[in-house]
Amino acid sequence: MSEERWLSHSAHWGAFSAAWQGEALTVRPHPQDPDPNPLIENFPAALRHRARVRQPMVRRGWLERGPGPDERRGCDDFVAMPWPEVLDRVAAELRRVQQAHGAQALFGGSYGWSSAGRFHHAQSQVHRFLNTALGGYVRSVYSYSAGASAAILPHILGSLEDVARRNVTWEQIVEHSEVVLAFGGMALRNMRVASGGISRHIERESMRQAAERGCRFINISPLRPDLPEEARAEWWAPQPGTDTALMLGLVHTLVAEGLHDRAFLRDFCDGWPVFEDYLMGRADGQPKTAAWAAALCGLDAGRIAALARSLPGKRVLVVVAHALQRAEHGEQPVWMGAVLAAVLGQIGLPGGGYAYALGTMAHYGKRANAVAGAALPQGTNGVDAFIPVARIADMLLHPGESFDYDGQRLAYPHIRLVYWAGGNPLHHHQDINRLREALWRLDTLVVHESAWTATARHADIVLPCTMTLEREDIGAAPTDPLMVAMHRIAEPVGEARDDYEIFADLAERLGRRAAFTEGRTAREWLVHLYEMTRAALQARGDEAPDFETFWARGELLLPQHPDDGGMLRAFREDPAGHPLPTPSGRVQISSPVIAGFGYADCPGHPAWLARADVPDARHPLFLVANQPATRLHSQLDFGGHSQSAKHRGREVCRLHPADARSRGIADGDIVRLFNHRGACLAAARVTEEVMAGVVQLPTGAWYDPEDPAARSPMCVHGNPNMLTRDVGTSSLGQGCSGQLTAVQVERWAGELPPIRAYDPPVPV
């Protein structure tokens, strides 16, 4: 590549450009980004890192004994194989499984964030391939991000899209909000990331301006830094998992003192009396008073009541982070947050009401684009069977068994082959030891990866794919006006190929090349996808340069919708003309539909439900396993920025001085976190920024088993999913509940095992 030529590109963490200075790759953020995300600094060292996959590899046991269940998945040798031969074998195995068991034996959910480019979006590629070449696959629905909320929100307000993406904006907060109650905080590290890429990170400055105007931010979280300094927030730290109780205590105070907005509840809501019976204790003999809540939350009752009394008459915004619903009974705080906002009569007002998930991602709090960006069509799936995304291990371990989901009774299909591209289940799934056992049951696991992740190591066939810097694409997010021409910055490493090329050659072997490619090269697809956006621009009479002009300029500014408050504002202004898409057309304070499902773990109104997975004498601390500040999930954990934050090679966990002292742990010590599911090492940071009783370890440190052949090996690096519990949030959502669990922590006095997670297997 030529020297010092800055080429535009984009990542989930922002638009940037890159140039070569001699042998060194340099990146710099988009010049108009007011608060760039430092995650772009993971790229330079990652590009040619030893952890990259450089050639196709096949697991020795699969090669020697053929497809079938195998406990050596994850500890076996690998054999290098030339592309033509490995593609022949993958195609033959896909055909075998499809002919013997049908397409319903192929799991292609392939959850994961992959990269920002919209054509090379790996999940879309794999879905399109399985649909066009094999007739379909078992899919997964919803996300690890928001499994519980995506299921419950349509029952009570509307779709997750409408509630999270077109609602209260940062512009409205700057201008109107007087109180922001942030349950789960609004962590700067999180809200500067969005799938497809964001070019302008405005969140920090928006909070600064709002706080300066006098807006009161309240950070309700076990971690003080979950709101940035600019917000000048008060910090409330209830016991993790008790937010629903706290909200009930606030609402009880409002109702008991006649401070609730009766007119709003009457004119815009449905089902208040059923909930009120529960709230006041008429149903169960327990009024949900501030004192009742205080005992559960570990807070002061007077402080809860005073907070409640301070809210009426103010423009109040209730925010509930995704994190709160990534837990047992995660549906409840999502629902109760809407009820709190309704009781205050704030839903639909500028800068007020309910902004679920605002502050968890850069998509939220923004205006929506008025034209659609590029997206690869995925074709038609001929298989009906699906799972809620986080039920993957259950599916593999219990084929044929039935389970509850959102009012339906479904059965787990019997999967023989799993195809993954663009995700890392051995990062994202809970209880890694259990997931490993589930993967052992398969006939075949095929993985496309750019790096030797734990998922690649557990595969039977690993196909090396390019990373984003090694190919051209279009970067576009539905909530950011900048469409970015993502130029190729580097040649592919080793024998790596684009997912698209790999699938095209596999489709060829299955006699379906034309159906998959429609005769287009990757560049021709970019032009084709771009033309769709261009046609939409032309239809509006907007500037619509041709592809070559866009490509040379490096970017195109798209028009956006006005900041109109979306569905909730329209409903408030005209409830008859713009009813909510709920059974009553109103906010469902209680739901006869959900009540009709008869779920003990998700009743017909929001409720405080005691949790099973809480600290006890043997595991007395809460583990908060949240998002990492220095990378996106597990991606580029081997990059410079992520590595710079490790200590003695380990991921850093944070705990309170009191908890450290009682365990003889000093700042910088290596510790072992454990419970009855598993164990991992980490480095301890002792800090008052974490509430007592909580240890926080972010996700994303690559799983690094001390002995990969052991049944439940310790991770020597710091992956919290060794410890988390693999259960659905409830029968309704069946979402991921990986955010919280119970653990013990002790000082590690043993020898420090080496980190081997980034060492590629040596082919035999």
Ligand X SMILES: Nc1nc2c(c(=O)[nH]1)N[C@H]1C(S)=C(S)[C@@H](COP(=O)(O)OP(=O)(O)OC[C@H]3O[C@@H](n4cnc5c(=O)[nH]c(N)nc54)[C@H](O)[C@@H]3O)O[C@H]1N2
Smallest gap, in angstroms, from Cβ of residue 198 to Mo ion? 15
Q: Which residues in the 281-340 window bind Mo ion by CB under 5 A?
A: none
Please state the closest distance from residue 142 (CB atom) to Mo ion, in A: 11
Is residue 324 a contact residue for ligand X (CB under 6 A)? Answer: yes
For residue 165, what is the DSSP state? I
In the numeric block, the tokens 């051209």 are attached to: 472
- Please report the sign of the dihedral spanned by the C-alpha atoms of residue 326, residue 327, residue 331, residue 332: negative
Task: State the Cα–Cα distance between residues 181 and 562, nearest whole angstrom.
Answer: 25
Q: Which residues pair with 316 in a beta bridge?
A: 179
Q: Which is nearer to ligand X, 348 or 422 (CB)?
A: 422
458 in contact with ligand X (CB under 6 A): no
Residue 536, C-beta contacts closer than 8 angstroms, at least 6 positions apart: 371, 372
Binds 360: which of ligand X, Mo ion, none (CB < 5-8 Å by kind): ligand X
By CB under 6 A, is residue 323 in contact with ligand X? Answer: yes
Of residues 151, 335, 219, 324, the one with CA closest to residue 739? 324
User: From the CB of 622, what's the least distance to Mo ion, in Å?
Assistant: 20
Site for Mo ion in 130-149 (CB under 5 A): 145
Residue 364 appears among annotated catalytic residues = no
Considering the rule CB under 6 A, would residue 734 count as an interface residue with ligand X? Answer: no
Count of chain residues binding ligand X (CB under 6 A): 62
Examine residue 632 and tell whether it contacts ligand X (CB under 6 A). Answer: yes
- The residue with its CB nearest to Mo ion is 145
Report in angstroms the alpha-carbon separations of 247 from 5, 320, 408, 592, 608. Answer: 54, 11, 30, 22, 10
Site string for ligand X, 277-316 (x = CB under 6 A): ----------------------------------------
Residue 624 in contact with ligand X, rule: CB under 6 A: yes
- Residue 448 as a binder of ligand X (CB under 6 A): the answer is yes
Tell me whether residue 507 or residue 536 sits nearer to ligand X (CB atom). 507
In this structure, how many other beta carbons lie within 10 angstroms of the beta carbon of residue 488? 16
Which residues in 173-192 contact ligand X (CB under 6 A)? 183-185, 187, 189-190
Q: With CB cut-offs between 5 and 8 Å by kind, which of ligand X, Mo ion, none does residue 252 bind?
A: none
Between residue 643 and residue 662, which ones bind ligand X under the rule CB under 6 A? none
Largest CA distance in the chain: 75
Q: How far is the CB of 146 from Mo ion (least distance, A)?
A: 7
Name the one residue in this structure whose structure tokens are 């992956």: 719
124 counts as binding ligand X under rule CB under 6 A: no
**Which of 8, 172, 199, 424 is the binder for ligand X (CB under 6 A)?**
424
In 583-647, which ranges are E strands? 587-588, 621-624
Contact residues for 629 (Cβ-Cβ < 8 A; gap 6+): 189, 645, 698
635 touches ligand X by CB under 6 A? yes
Question: Which of Mo ion, ligand X, none does residue 453 bind (CB under 5 to 8 Å by kind)?
Answer: ligand X
Binding mask 208-237 for ligand X (x = CB under 6 A): ------------xxxx--x-----------
Identified catalytic residue from 6, 20, 62, 113 = 113
Q: What DSSP character marks residue 340? A: H
User: Tokens representing 511?
Assistant: 């006699």
Closest CA to 763 of 72, 76, 68: 76
Q: How far is the CB of 99 from Mo ion (least distance, A)?
A: 36
Contact region with ligand X (CB under 6 A), list: 75-83, 630-638, 655-663, 673-681 = 630-638
Nearer to ligand X, 297 or 671 (CB): 297
| Distance, CA of 691 to CA of 708 (rounded, Å) | 35
Give catalytic status of residue 62 as yes or no.
no
CA–CA distance, 268 with 588 (Å, rounded to integer): 9
Q: Does 90 bind ligand X (CB under 6 A)?
A: no
- What's the DSSP call for residue 360? S
Q: Which is nearer to Mo ion, 104 or 145 (CB)?
A: 145
Supply 701's token pair: 């440190």
110 binds ligand X (CB under 6 A): no
Choose between 145 and 167: whose C-beta lies nearer to Mo ion: 145
Residue 473 Cβ vs ligand X, minimum distance, rounded to whole Å: 9
CB nearer to ligand X: give 489 or 632.
632
Query: Of 239 and 590, which CB lies nearer to ligand X in the complex structure?
Result: 239
| Helix, strand, coil abundance in the chain, percent, nearest 5 | 35, 20, 50
Pairing of strands 444-449, 24-29: unpaired
Residue 572 CA to residue 587 CA, distance in Å, equals 11
474 binds, among Mo ion, ligand X, none (CB under 5 to 8 A by kind): none
Residue closer to ligand X, measured from CB, 253 or 453: 453
CA separation, residue 713 to residues 67, 76, 428, 630 (Å):
25, 15, 18, 26
* Residue nearer to ligand X on the CB measure, 319 or 415: 319
CA–CA distance from 731 to each of 147, 457, 469 (Å)? Answer: 12, 33, 42
Task: Compute the distance between CA of residue 616 and CA of residue 621 in angstroms, rounded to an integer.
Answer: 8
Q: Give the side-chain half-sphere CA count within 13 A for 695.
A: 33
What are the structure tokens assigned to 433, written together? Answer: 């030891």
Q: What is the radius of gyration, based on Cα positions, of the chain?
A: 26
Compute the half-sphere exposure of residue 543: CA atoms within 13 Å on the CB side of its CA: 8
Nearer to ligand X, 198 or 510 (CB): 198
**Which residue numbers are catalytic?**
111, 113
Return residues touching Mo ion (CB under 5 A).
145
Return residues touching ligand X (CB under 6 A).
112-115, 120, 122, 144-145, 183-185, 187, 189-190, 193, 220-223, 226, 240-241, 243, 321-324, 326, 360-361, 421-424, 427-428, 430, 448-451, 453, 465, 467, 499, 624-629, 632-635, 699, 720-721, 724, 738-740
